[in-house]
Structures are given as structure tokens and as C-alpha cells.
């Protein structure tokens, strides 16, 4: 048999024990003093214990009541803290994202989000997101992932498609490709370990594979390091155009070939079902889509429709536009 007392009676006891004043307790609970007294009597009857002494001066805790209050008052304080923590979830967004997207796209734009929503805090979790994340269990509100379309436990919407193209620094182009850009392919190719197929896919799509058949390749652990190596003149890298929007706009990197290739993959925003999204997460989602739309408006040539451009073989040999 449960020994949990009626909660209204327990709450009345907690307030009276904390305030040590029946009138103050009644005001806090928005009821009459007699209603508070009835709840205390109900609790004492349920517990079969005397918790208060009644005298002309009011109600004072018995020794047993005082000991009970030492445990009940902290319990209600803990309930209040737990409830406040739910409110805090509406003032922060935990974003799980790969390093490359965080460093090259998201972080440079976060000051704009903070200007628009100064009370919402963004926590960037640097990790390869799990597309089957359990948003009730995992410490994340939204995820940015790259891949196909097989999402089983969450909502997915395309942010931008995977467009790639060789990029290099202006100085590197001046030394190795001044006469013709194809000459660059005879020099060092910079490769990201997690995107090893990029160069081969691009060379196949453009029909330039024969020019790089014997070319040295330098491999880096992540795309971010590969692009930095290109900026510093170590070679020519394959760049994901949406990530390099600012580097290309500022002239830090150049697109010597002007032949982007679109693969059958994209960056997706993964979120829980709308009913389980916090207000802060919804605002972040809307802001993210607006900023991506701004990028397309500012530089449509970098992300144009490539239906008439280059075809890339997918994993089963079909041509993917």
C-alpha cells in the first residue's frame, strides 16, 4: 500500500512548516486559513501522527513535525528546480554538427543569431551526428548531418546539396596553373580521409582523370585541415562549396576550373517531431534556413542548378545529376 499522502495536504504542510505562519501560508496558496487547517488535519489523519500543536498563538511544529519538515521542504524545492530546468530548455539550443560545418558555416554566422535572439544560448556539440538519435535520451536538440535519405526516428529536411569542386589559393594558382588550370592536376592533390572519393568522383565526372593518374596525394584527417592546407599553398583540394562560401567570396580560395559537381547526398537538418521541439529549437531552425537562402541569393553561381552540368556515378553505377 502506498504511503504517499495526498499531495494538496502535503503541499499545505510544506508551506506552513516553511513560513511558520498560517496566514502567510494561506496567502501563498491562495486559499483561506481554514482551508489550510483542514489540509493539515487531513495529513495528520492520514499519517496518524501529530505534526502541529494548536494554541492561542497559532500552530507550531511538534518534534515529529519538525523532523518531517526537514525532509519534505527540500523535496518540494527539488521539484521546483526540476520544473525550472524545463523552462531553461526553451532558452538554449544544443546543436550537434560535424567539425567542418561548425567551423566554416555555422560559427561565422552565429553572431547574427545572437543579435536576433540574445536570450537564446547556442551550444555546439562537435561530433558526427547519429541520424537515429533519440531526442528524449540524447543531449541534443537538433543535428546537422550529411548523407542520404534514410532517417527512421526523426524529421529530416535538406539544407543544401553536396556540391564539390577543386579549390586552391591565388598564389598556388599563379605558380602551378597560370597557363592552364588543368596543369594543377599534375601537382599535389589534397585529400580528406573521410571524403576519399571526392577527387575520383570529380575527375570521373569531368573526364580529367588521366591528368591526375600519377599525381601525389596528401591525406588529412578532416576536410577542415584539407581546406586550410589549400589556403596555405600545399596543393589543390576538393571543396564543398556551401562550406567555403566566405573563403571564395573573399578571394582566399579560388575555383580554377569552374566545374562544380553535385553528388547524391546533402546536408540535412534532423529534428524531433514538431510536437517535441522547443520554441528555441524552432527559432534556430527558421534562422538556419533563412541564412542558407541568403547565401543562395548572394552567390547563386556557387549553388546553381547543375542539371545541365556534370553527372557523377553513384554507388551502384547510375548517373546522378
Tell me, yes or no, whether 120 and 257 share the same domain.
yes
Tell me, yes or no, whether 146 and 82 share the same domain.
no
Tell me, yes or no, whether 39 and 95 share the same domain.
no
Q: What is the DSSP letter of 119?
A: T
Q: What is the pLDDT of residue 127?
A: 73
The torsion angles phi and psi of 208, rounded to 5 degrees, stand at -110, 15
Tell me, yes or no, whether 182 and 68 share the same domain.
no
Q: Is residue 103 part of a domain?
A: yes
Rounded to an integer, what distance in angstroms lies between the CA atom of residue 147 and that of residue 152? 13
Q: What is the pLDDT of residues 108-150, one digit of tens each?
A: 999 999 999 999 999 999 876 555 555 556 678 888 888 766 5
Q: Is residue 319 part of a domain?
A: no
Tell me, yes or no, whether 51 and 182 share the same domain.
no
Q: Is residue 272 part of a domain?
A: yes
Question: What stretches in the chain show pLDDT beneath 70?
Answer: 1-2, 84-90, 128-138, 148-154, 178-179, 274-275, 298-321
* Domain boundary residue, one of 87, 104, 129: 87
* CB within 8 Å of 53: residues ≥ 6 apart: 59, 60, 61, 62
Q: How many domains does the chain have?
A: 2
Burial of residue 63 (CB within 10 Å: 0-12, 13-18, 19+) is exposed
Q: Is residue 315 part of a domain?
A: no
Tell me, yes or no, whether 157 and 258 share the same domain.
yes
Tell me, yes or no, whether 134 and 17 share the same domain.
no
For residue 159, the SS3 value is: strand
Cell of 45: 489523519
The torsion angles phi and psi of 291, rounded to 5 degrees, stand at -70, -35
Burial of residue 312 (CB within 10 Å: 0-12, 13-18, 19+) is buried
Q: What is the pLDDT of residue 129?
A: 55
Q: Is residue 313 part of a domain?
A: no
Q: Is residue 2 part of a domain?
A: no
For position 12, which CATH number holds? 1.10.10.10
Q: Is residue 318 part of a domain?
A: no
Tell me, yes or no, whether 125 and 228 share the same domain.
yes
Closest CA to 225 of 92, 42, 99: 99
* Domain boundary residue, one of 49, 69, 87: 87
- For residue 27, the enclosing domain spans 7-87
The torsion angles phi and psi of 313, rounded to 5 degrees, stand at -65, 135
Tell me, yes or no, whether 13 and 109 share the same domain.
no
Rounded to an integer, what distance in angstroms lies between the CA atom of residue 155 and that of residue 292? 19
Bridge-based pairing of strands 189-192 and 121-126 is unpaired
Q: What is the pLDDT of residue 137?
A: 62
For position 227, which CATH number holds? 3.40.190.290
Q: What is the pLDDT of residue 309?
A: 32
Q: What is the pLDDT of residue 157?
A: 85
Amino acid at each position: 500500500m502506498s504511503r504517499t499522502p495526498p499531495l494538496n495536504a502535503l503541499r499545505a504542510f510544506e508551506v506552513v512548516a516553511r513560513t511558520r505562519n498560517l496566514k502567510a501560508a494561506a496567502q501563498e496558496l491562495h486559499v483561506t486559513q481554514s482551508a489550510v487547517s483542514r489540509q493539515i488535519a487531513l495529513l495528520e489523519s492520514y499519517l496518524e501522527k501529530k505534526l502541529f500543536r494548536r494554541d492561542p498563538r497559532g500552530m507550531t511544529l511538534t518534534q515529529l513535525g519538525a523532523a518531517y519538515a526537514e525532509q519534505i521542504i527540500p523535496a518540494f524545492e527539488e521539484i521546483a528546480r526540476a520544473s525550472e530546468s524545463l523552462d531553461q530548455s526553451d532558452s538554449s539550443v544544443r546543436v550537434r554538427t560535424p567539425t567542418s560545418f561548425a567551423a566554416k558555416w555555422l560559427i561565422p554566422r552565429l553572431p547574427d543569431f545572437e543579435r536576433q535572439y540574445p536570450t537564446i544560448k547556442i551550444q555546439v556539440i562537435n561530433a558526427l551526428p547519429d541520424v537515429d538519435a533519440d531526442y528524449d535520451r540524447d543531449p541534443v536538440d537538433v543535428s546537422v548531418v550529411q548523407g542520404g535519405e534514410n532517417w527512421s526516428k526523426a524529421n529530416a529536411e535538406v539544407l543544401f546539396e553536396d556540391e564539390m569542386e577543386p579549390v586552391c589559393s591565388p598564389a598556388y594558382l599563379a605558380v602551378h596553373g597560370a597557363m592552364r588550370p588543368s596543369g594543377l592536376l599534375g601537382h599535389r592533390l589534397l585529400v580528406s580521409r573521410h571524403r576519399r572519393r571526392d577527387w575520383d568522383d570529380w575527375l570521373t565526372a569531368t573526364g580529367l582523370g588521366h591528368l591526375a593518374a600519377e599525381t601525389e596525394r596528401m591525406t588529412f584527417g578532416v576536410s577542415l585541415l584539407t581546406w586550410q592546407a589549400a589556403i596555405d599553398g600545399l596543393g589543390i583540394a576538393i571543396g564543398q562549396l556551401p562550406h567555403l562560401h566566405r573563403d571564395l567570396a573573399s578571394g582566399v580560395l579560388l575555383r580554377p576550373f569552374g566545374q562544380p559537381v553535385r553528388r547524391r547526398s546533402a546536408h540535412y537538418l534532423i529534428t524531433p517531431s514538431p510536437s517535441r521541439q522547443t520554441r528555441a529549437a524552432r527559432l534556430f531552425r527558421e534562422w538556419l534556413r533563412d541564412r542558407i537562402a541568403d547565401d543562395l541569393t548572394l552567390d547563386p553561381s556557387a549553388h546553381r542548378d547543375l542539371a545541365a552540368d556534370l553527372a557523377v556515378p553513384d554507388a551502384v553505377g547510375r548517373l546522378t545529376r
